[in-house]
Amino acid sequence: MTPTELFLQQLVNGLTIGSVYALIALGYTMVYGIIQLINFAHGEVFMTGAYMGLALFLACGVAGAGLASVPLLLGSLALGAAGCSVLGLAIEKIAYRPLRQAPKLSILITAIGVSFFLQNAVMLIFGAQDRYVPSVVPAARWQVMGIVLTPLQGLIFAVTGLTLAVLQGVVYHTSLGRFMRAVAQDPLAARLMGVSVNRVVAATFALGSALAGMGGVLFGMYYSTINFHDGYLTGLKAFTAAVLGGIGNLPGAMLGGLLLGLLESFSAGYLSTQWKNVAAFAVLVLVLLVRPRGLLGERLAEKV
């Protein structure tokens, strides 16, 4: 391996995990943009999505690895997305909506409570052990210019890129998107203009959770193992990514996710694995010192 090949391979490694962070970060950032809530249960929604994919594979009797099946792949992504959006809707309706007028701290604590609830519910259903997740994507290995890329990595890039494009389209070119931006700016004024704030917030949760669900299915297949506490660390990193990119900003979440993945990959590859998190979070602190609103965060007018 030449130094260039090494660099490119680390780039691919970083972009893969970064794409997963980005998919989850989009959900954090959307919810924050609309109701200024840091939805700490979002990481657990992601983890539940991975288990939904696993449940489908188990139901279809897919036990071994390397079995490629397009219907199963699409089915698992659809189930992860649909299942998690229903979950997101339920969480919003049951745990957050009744508290929307309460102090911000109450709803934050509720979010942490939901996160514990989901972790333990999944543990009771699927057990506390690591579960093996079969991959339904071909297990090939592409060699391009000395670097290795798997079809699953390609799929992760594609899904993440496509998702951002679709989201941008929804937010800036549909009436739902216009409502979302209106609620984000001023919920009361939006309501006076005839926007159903509850529906818009619910739709935001559904969308964000669907992305986390797809991210979970891909994560499970990529690492081939899943555990009930996997949502915690990954969710925390995705949250970091959202803050790094500028919370409330969609391309910012994407950029933050990819950047965090690259930071981890390069610090583990060129410094040492032990220093991976230290390096990544040191950069986060530095960025926030210089740009407190994150890389792409906009200066919002203070609401009075």
Partner 1 sequence: MLTSRRFLGSICTAFLGLFLLAGCGNREPVLKIGFVAPLTGDQAAHGMDMLRGAELALEEALSRGPLIPGCRVELAALDDARSPAQAVAAAKKLASDPDVAAVVGHLNSSCTKPASAIYHEARMLHVNPVSSNPDISRQGFDNLFRVCPTDDLQGPAGARFAIERLGAKRLFVIDDLTTYGRGLANEFIKAARVMGGEILGHEGITQGEKDFTPLLTKIKAIHPDLIYFAGMFPEAALLLKQRFELGVAARFLGGDGLFEPTLITLATPAAAEGAFLTTLGADLRAIPQAGAFVRAFEAKYGHLGAYSSYVYESTGVVLEAIRRAGRKDRQAVLAAMKQIKEYPGILGVHTFDARGDTTLRTIGIYTVKNGKFEFLQAAE
For binding to partner 1 (CB under 8 A), which residues are involved? 1, 5-6, 9-10, 13-14, 16-17, 65-66, 120, 123-124, 127-130, 132, 139, 141, 143, 148, 150, 223-225, 227, 229-230, 233, 264-266, 268-270, 272-274, 276-277
Candidates 29, 71, 90, 60; CA nearest to 248 is 29
Which is nearer to partner 1, 124 or 165 (by Cβ)?
Answer: 124
Report in angstroms how near the CB of residue 117 gets to partner 1 at its nearest.
9
d(CA 254, CA 15): 11
The residue assigned the tokens 């991975």 is 50
Nearer to partner 1, 205 or 219 (CB): 219
CA distances from 250 to 20, 25, 199, 212 (A): 15, 9, 20, 14
Q: What angle do CA 208, 11, 48 make, to 5 degrees?
A: 30
Given a contact cutoff of 8 angstroms between Cβ atoms, the answer to whether 128 and 228 are in contact is: yes
On the 0-12 / 13-18 / 19+ scale of CB atoms within 10 A, 286 is exposed
Among 193, 173, 221, residue whose Cα is nearest residue 16: 221
> In the complex, what is the shortest distance from the CB of residue 181 to partner 1, in angstroms, rounded to a whole number?
35
CB nearer to partner 1: pick between 157 and 223: 223
Choice between 215 and 246, CB closer to partner 1: 215
d(CA 44, CA 118): 6
Residue number with CB closer to partner 1 (205 or 222):
222
* Residue closer to partner 1 (CB basis): 140 or 166: 140
Cα dihedral sign for 133, 136, 140, 142? negative
Q: How far is the CB of 179 from partner 1 (least distance, A)?
A: 38
Rounded to a whole number of angstroms, the minimum distance from the CB of residue 248 to partner 1 is 27
Element (H, E) at 47: helix 42-59
Q: Which is nearer to partner 1, 187 or 215 (CB)?
A: 215
Specify the residue, 127 or 161, whose C-beta has the smaller distance to partner 1: 127
E strands, 85-233, are 131-132, 142-144, 147-149, 225-226
**DSSP code for 143:** E
- Minimum Å gap between C-beta 253 and partner 1 is 19
> Rounded to the nearest whole angstrom, what is the least distance from the CB of residue 21 to partner 1 in the complex?
11
Beta bridge partners of 3: none
Q: Which residue matches tokens 């979070």?
A: 281
> Minimum Å distance from CB 14 to partner 1?
7
Q: How far is the CB of 294 from partner 1 (least distance, A)?
A: 24
Q: What angle do CA 43, 48, 51 make, to 5 degrees?
A: 135
